Amino acid sequence: MSIDFESLVTTLEGGGHPFVLYRYPAESHIHVIIDSSKQLRVLSGDGTESGFVFAAFDSSLPAVILHPDVHTTFPVSQLPDTSLADEDNVSLSHKTDELVAKDSYVSLVSAAIREIEDSDIKKIVTSRTMRVDYDSIDMAAVYASMCSTYPDAFVYYFSHPSIGRWAGASPELLLLRRGEDIHTMSLAGTQPYEGEKMYRWKEKEVEEQDIVTRYIRDVLSSCGVKDIKIKGPDNHRAAGVVHLCSHISGTMKEGVDMRDIIKKLSPTPALCGYPKDLSMMFIKKNESHDRMFYGGYLGELNMAGNATAELYVNIRCMQLSDNHLTMYAGGGITAQSSPSDEWEETCHKMKTISRVVAPYIYKG
């Protein structure tokens, strides 16, 4: 491809067609997909459709799919040089707005703790947003910076005239399938990354991650997956934070429906809570924002051949408008949670995107 990356992004943004840029963890190239139709396509029910899937947090809604009418690649080595905002000084919101946001989120977490104490719910994942206004944003530079800053994440920039623009760098695999073999992960618990040291995890964080692991194991088993193996939990670095992570694998025998597995997995307890139906009811009733595609999933379906998928959870993400962006972050709440600690956890997660975005936002 002879075009430079800035020109590529400018051309895609100006073309009006649905497109997505994405780079899988540690890959040396970026995939570029353009759908020739401007109409909103939704994933069919037969499980054979091929394309890039973009699904909402609410799994009852149909998933969007882009058909790869144009599918090419761009080398990561030819991305422009970028810089990061200083971690200690990055701030994209006004102090007054931040104080209001903190009070609101602490109240939400406190309500979740009370709900857990008074019901059969074991975990609720609460979330919040942060709006950043601008006159313009350089998305080519933002995307290049995400790729260089988060080499082990799934980095994407998605645009559709019917649903808008989203971008992010996700560390969390939802499902990798190659024929009979499937792999997923349970990711939960967050601490600031402080180098290769012995991290001490609180009982609350260990419990939170274990809930996710057991749920995923039970879903796979109930769907007919055999030879399920769990490795971990171990520390998993995701840029400026570290999580507890278990890797879960198994074998899909003939007759196992991958659509059923995906529908039951998403959203996992890492993004919703447990039990899923009760925690989802709390989220819809108590959160002041619509999560839309935050906490959903995205990635390739049947593009590496029949019976294949590589899907990631849509976290560490932002929604883009003409004059502002909205960042999303959340955390798993159990009976042992501290509202103030949960606020700090969302701040650490927001920083993973804020540091990338801040140098390329222009005002005035």
User: Can you give the pLDDT at residue 236?
Assistant: 85
Please compute, for residue 241, the number of CA atoms within 13 A of its CA located in the half-sphere on the CB side: 25
Bridge partner list, 17: none
Q: State the Cα–Cα distance between residues 364 and 299, nearest whole angstrom.
A: 36
42: DSSP letter: B
Contact of 309 with 257, CB cutoff 8 Å: no
Most confident option among 42-51, 137-146, 208-217, 265-274: 137-146
Phi/psi at 123 (5° precision): -155, 140
Is there a contact between 74 and 143 (Cβ–Cβ < 8 Å)?
Answer: no
Calculate what percentage of the chain has a pLDDT beyond 90: 74
The reported pLDDT for the residue numbered 199 is 83
Rounded to whole angstroms, the Cα distance separating 349 from 183 reads 25
User: How much of the chain is in helix, strand and coil states, percent to nearest 5?
Assistant: 30, 35, 35
- pLDDT at position 232: 87
Residue 16: CB atoms within 10 A of its CB come to 10
Tell me phi and psi for residue 295, to 5 degrees.
Answer: 85, -5
Given a cut of 80, whether residue 96 has pLDDT beyond it is: no
pTM of the model: 0.93
Domains and their CATH numbers in the chain:
5-80+95-362 (3.60.120.10)
Cα–Cα distance, 190 to 10 (Å, whole number): 36
pLDDT at 357: 94
What does the alpha-carbon distance between residue 318 and residue 91 come to, in Å, rounded to a whole number?
Answer: 16
pLDDT digits (tens, 9 = 90+) for 60-70: 899 999 999 99
CA angle 33, 34, 40 (to 5 degrees): 115
Query: DSSP class of residue 48?
Result: -
Count other C-beta atoms under 10 Å from residue 37's C-beta.
11
Express each pLDDT in 29-77 by its tens digit.
Answer: 999 999 999 999 999 877 788 999 999 999 889 999 999 999 999 999 9
Location of structure tokens 């975005």: 357
CB 12 within 8 A of CB 19: yes
pLDDT for position 204? 85
pLDDT tens string 172-196: 999 999 989 999 999 888 788 888 7
Average model confidence (pLDDT) across the chain: 92
pLDDT at residue 94 is higher than 70: no
285 Cβ contact list (under 8 Å, min separation 6): none
